[in-house]
Amino acid sequence: MDLKIAGKKALMAGGSAGMGRATAERLAEAGVELYISARREERLLNAAKEVTEKYGNTVTPIVADSSTEEGRATLFSACPDPDILAITIKPPDPNGDFLTVTPEMWRESIETALLGPIEIMRHYIPSMKEKGWGRILNIATFSAKNPMIWRLMSGPARSALVNYTASVSREIAQFGVNINNILPGMFATEGSEENAVHYAKAFGLEMDNDVIAEHFNAHNKIPAGFAAIADDMAPMAALLCSPLARYIVGQNIVIDGGQHHSLF
């Protein structure tokens, strides 16, 4: 399918690994001029090089932390006017007992998982409106809709994010600028491997990969029977970033192998 985005400028904020990287690759495959950002430089530079080698695109890496004002300023000056903006941010690690979650932990969660994406969108929306076209995609989490006691540092802030985008998307759709969100379930990514250690601690498990995997699978009961790979969401991400999605406004697409049990 031709996504009709060849030549457009796309920023994947959080694009060096996992679902951000897979989305960046699908956008590159569709012919965009690509900007990818991340905090860790070495992995980011490798990702930019590999995507260029694979698809032949110009890829500009930007070392920047999307959760800080300083990082966002770096992002904005390195990529002033993207047509397509996709954002993902790693929230704080899984929490243990909910009674141990402190106000400082809440503040960190809100700074990263809520204010980071909001401030990036707020910066770029005016230029997209002026151009009369833009696509914004947040890669958030299905725990925005499917609360999990060990993901308090991720789900509640993202519930607020999808609430915000539900309102703002309806305000700006008239200018050809659409915001949508993908809410992923369990994906085997670099990020989820890093989380496994914290998950094990939160549940008092042995640091043994088999023990963690067995507990995790039993806990999550995924109807599809497996944890996805990042490219299981990337085609949908690229579609939402294209003109083909012009009538998809303010939606939350859950991609979770059927884990979240609801009609909508």
Ligand X SMILES: NC(=O)c1ccc[n+]([C@@H]2O[C@H](COP(=O)([O-])OP(=O)(O)OC[C@H]3O[C@@H](n4cnc5c(N)ncnc54)[C@H](OP(=O)(O)O)[C@@H]3O)[C@@H](O)[C@H]2O)c1
Binders of ligand X among 20-49, rule CB under 6 A? Answer: 20, 37-40, 43
- Please give the full DSSP string across 203-222, using - where no structure is assigned: TT--S-HHHHHHHHHHHH--
Angle, CA of 10, 237 and 21, to the nearest 5°? 65
252-255 sheet: strands from edge to edge: 59-63, 33-38, 9-13, 84-87, 134-139, 177-184, 252-255
CB of 109 to ligand X, least distance (A): 11
- Minimum distance from residue 147 beta carbon to ligand X (Å): 13
Contact 35, 82 (CB under 8 A): yes
Q: Which of 85, 114, 137, 139 binds ligand X (CB under 6 A)?
A: 139
Q: What is the dihedral of CA 218, 221, 227, 233, to 10 degrees?
A: -160
Q: Give the per-residue contact string, 153-172, with ligand X (x = CB under 6 A; - = no).
A: -x------------------
The nearer residue to ligand X, 96 or 191, going by C-beta atoms, is 191
The nearest distance, CB 75 to ligand X, in angstroms, is 8
Query: 12 near 186, Cβ under 8 Å?
Result: no
Q: 260 φ, ψ to 5°?
A: -75, 120
Residues 77-96 contacting ligand X, CB under 6 A: 88-91
Nearest approach, Cβ of residue 4 and ligand X (Å): 26
What CA–CA distance (Å, rounded) separates 88 from 181? 10
- The reply to whether 16 sits near ligand X by the rule CB under 6 A is yes
Instruction: Give 11 or 186: the residue with its C-beta nearer to ligand X.
Output: 186
CB of 91 to ligand X, least distance (A): 5
Instruction: Give the binding site for ligand X (CB under 6 A).
Output: 14-20, 37-40, 43, 65-67, 88-91, 112, 139, 141, 154, 184, 186-187, 189-192, 230
